[in-house]
C-alpha cells in the first residue's frame, strides 16, 4: 500500500512539475515553433502620442496594426501601444519595451529607426520575444528582423502627376529632413525623376523643416514655396498643413500631393497622397510567428507587394495624360523592367552617381543617397510668416 501511495505521490509531483513548465512556456515564442494565436501579445512603440489621422506617420502605422488585428482575429487586449516615445530618448525607449515584455508581449514592433539600438540590446536579453525594427539594418539570426518598403516607387508615380499638373514649372516639396537623411532624400529624388520624365524643364524646390512633426513650420514652408512660384506642393512630413497652405492660396491654382493618409479629406486641392499599407507587412509578420515560419530575413516590399501606393485620385484635378502615364510607369516598375534608380544620375552640383547599365543596390538607396537630383534646389530663404492653417 505504501509503495502504491509513493508511486501516486511521485506521479502527482511529476505532473505538477510538467504543468508548471507548461505554464512557464505558455506565451513564450521559440524559433521554428508555432505560437497559439490566443497567446500572441504585441507591443508597439509610436513616436507621437496622437493616433488619429492628423498624426500622419503614426496614424499610418496604427492603421496597419488595426487592419492586421482584424485580419488575424486578435483581441484588443493582445495589443499594447506605447505612444509618445521619442526615438532619440534611449532610456524611454528601453523602458517602454521592457514594460511591454513584462506585460507578456512576445512580439515587439519598433516603428522608428532610432529605436534600433534598444531593440538590438533587448533581443539578446529576451530570446523568447520577436523584435521587428523599422528601417535600420538591425538583425540577428534568431529573433530580430528589420522591415521597410520601397516608398520611392510611389513617390516616382506622384512625381509624374506633379510634373503634368504644373503650369509654372516650379514644384514645391516640404521635407522633414535634409540631404543628411537618405530616407527623405531618396524619396525626393525619385519624385524629381518622375517629374523630369514628363516635364524635363520643371524644377523642384525643397524647403526643409528639420523636424518630423512641426505643424507651424510645415505650413510656413509651403507658403514660402508658393511665394517662390510653386503651383504644386508635395511633402515628406507628418501633418496636412502643407496641403492646407496650398488650399488657402484661393484661386491661384495651387495643387497638392499628400503623404501618409488620404489628404483629400483635409484639402480640396489635393490630387492624391503617397501612402503606406503597413498591414501588408504586419499581417505577414504575426502570421509567421503563429505558424512557426518567422524569419529574420529583412523585408523590403514595394508597389508589387502593395505595402506602398497612391490613394484614389481627385479625378477633377488629374492632368491630361496622367492616367496613361501612370499605368505605363507602374507596370514597368512592378514587372522589374524599371528600377527608378539605375544608370548614371547627375546631382544638382554636377556629380555623377551610379554606373551605366546597372541598378543602385538597395543598401545605396536606403543609406547612401545624400545628394539632390539635378532638377532639385533647396529653398534656403526664411519661411514667410503665416497666421496658421
Reported as a single tens digit per residue, the pLDDT across 285-327 is 999 999 999 999 999 999 999 999 999 999 999 999 999 999 9
Residue with grid cell 499599407, as numbered in its chain: 277
Contact between residue 75 and residue 140 where contact means Cβ atoms under 8 Å apart: no
> How far, CA to CA in Å, does 28 sit from each of 107, 126, 210?
10, 10, 41
With H, G, I as helix, E, B as strand and everything else as coil, classify residue 175.
strand
pLDDT tens digit sequence for 12-37? 343 433 333 333 456 789 999 999 99
Distance CA 76, CA 61 (A): 16
pLDDT tens digit sequence for 130-173? 999 998 788 898 999 999 999 999 999 999 999 999 999 999 99
* Cα within 13 Å of Cα(315), Cβ side: 0
Nearest to 162 by CA among 204, 122, 219: 204
Distance CA 336, CA 345 (A): 19
Proportion of the chain above pLDDT 90, given as a percent:
82
Summarize the confidence of residues 334-344 as an average pLDDT.
98
> How far, CA to CA in Å, does 150 sit from each of 61, 160, 299, 349?
16, 17, 10, 26
Which residues are CB-neighbours of 315 under 8 A, at least 6 positions away?
none
* Residue 252 or residue 71, greater confidence: 71
pLDDT tens digit sequence for 200-221? 999 999 999 998 889 999 999 9
Nearest to 121 by CA among 99, 144, 102, 147: 144
Amino acid at each position: 500500500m505504501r509503495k502504491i501511495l509513493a508511486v501516486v505521490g511521485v506521479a502527482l509531483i511529476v505532473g505538477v512539475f510538467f504543468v508548471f513548465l507548461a505554464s512557464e512556456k505558455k506565451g513564450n515564442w521559440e524559433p521554428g515553433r508555432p505560437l497559439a494565436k490566443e497567446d500572441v501579445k504585441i507591443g508597439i512603440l509610436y513616436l507621437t502620442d496622437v493616433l488619429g489621422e492628423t498624426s500622419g506617420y503614426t496614424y499610418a502605422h496604427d492603421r496597419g496594426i488595426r487592419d492586421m488585428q482584424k485580419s488575424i482575429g486578435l483581441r484588443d487586449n493582445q495589443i499594447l501601444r506605447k505612444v509618445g516615445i521619442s526615438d532619440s530618448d534611449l532610456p524611454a525607449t528601453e523602458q517602454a519595451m521592457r514594460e511591454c515584455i513584462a506585460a507578456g508581449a512576445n512580439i515587439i514592433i519598433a516603428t522608428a529607426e532610432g529605436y534600433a539600438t534598444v531593440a538590438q540590446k533587448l533581443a539578446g536579453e529576451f530570446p523568447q520575444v520577436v523584435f521587428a525594427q523599422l528601417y535600420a539594418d538591425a538583425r540577428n539570426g534568431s529573433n530580430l528582423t528589420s522591415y521597410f518598403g520601397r516608398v520611392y516607387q510611389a513617390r516616382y508615380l506622384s512625381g509624374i502627376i506633379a510634373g503634368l499638373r504644373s503650369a509654372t514649372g516650379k514644384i514645391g516639396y516640404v521635407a522633414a529632413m535634409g540631404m543628411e537623411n537618405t530616407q527623405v532624400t531618396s524619396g525626393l529624388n525619385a519624385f524629381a525623376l518622375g517629374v523630369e520624365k514628363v516635364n524635363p524643364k520643371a524644377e523642384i524646390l525643397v524647403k526643409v523643416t528639420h523636424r518630423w512633426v512641426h505643424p507651424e513650420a510645415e505650413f510656413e514652408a509651403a507658403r514660402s514655396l508658393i511665394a517662390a512660384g510653386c503651383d504644386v506642393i508635395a511633402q515628406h512630413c507628418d501633418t496636412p498643413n502643407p496641403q492646407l497652405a496650398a488650399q488657402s492660396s484661393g484661386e491661384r491654382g495651387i495643387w497638392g500631393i499628400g503623404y501618409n493618409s488620404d489628404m483629400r479629406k483635409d484639402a480640396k486641392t489635393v490630387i492624391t497622397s503617397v501612402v503606406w499599407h503597413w498591414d501588408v507587412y504586419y499581417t505577414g509578420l504575426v502570421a509567421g510567428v503563429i505558424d512557426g515560419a518567422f524569419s529574420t530575413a529583412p523585408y523590403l516590399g514595394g508597389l508589387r507587394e502593395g505595402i506602398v501606393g497612391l490613394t484614389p485620385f481627385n479625378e477633377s484635378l488629374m492632368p491630361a495624360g496622367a492616367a496613361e502615364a501612370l499605368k505605363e510607369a507602374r507596370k514597368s516598375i512592378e514587372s522589374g523592367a524599371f528600377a527608378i534608380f539605375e544608370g548614371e544620375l547627375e546631382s544638382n552640383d554636377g556629380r555623377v552617381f551610379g554606373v551605366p547599365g546597372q541598378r543602385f543596390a538597395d543598401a545605396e538607396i536606403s543609406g547612401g543617397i545624400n545628394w539632390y537630383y539635378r532638377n532639385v534646389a533647396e529653398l534656403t530663404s526664411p519661411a514667410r510668416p503665416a497666421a496658421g492653417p
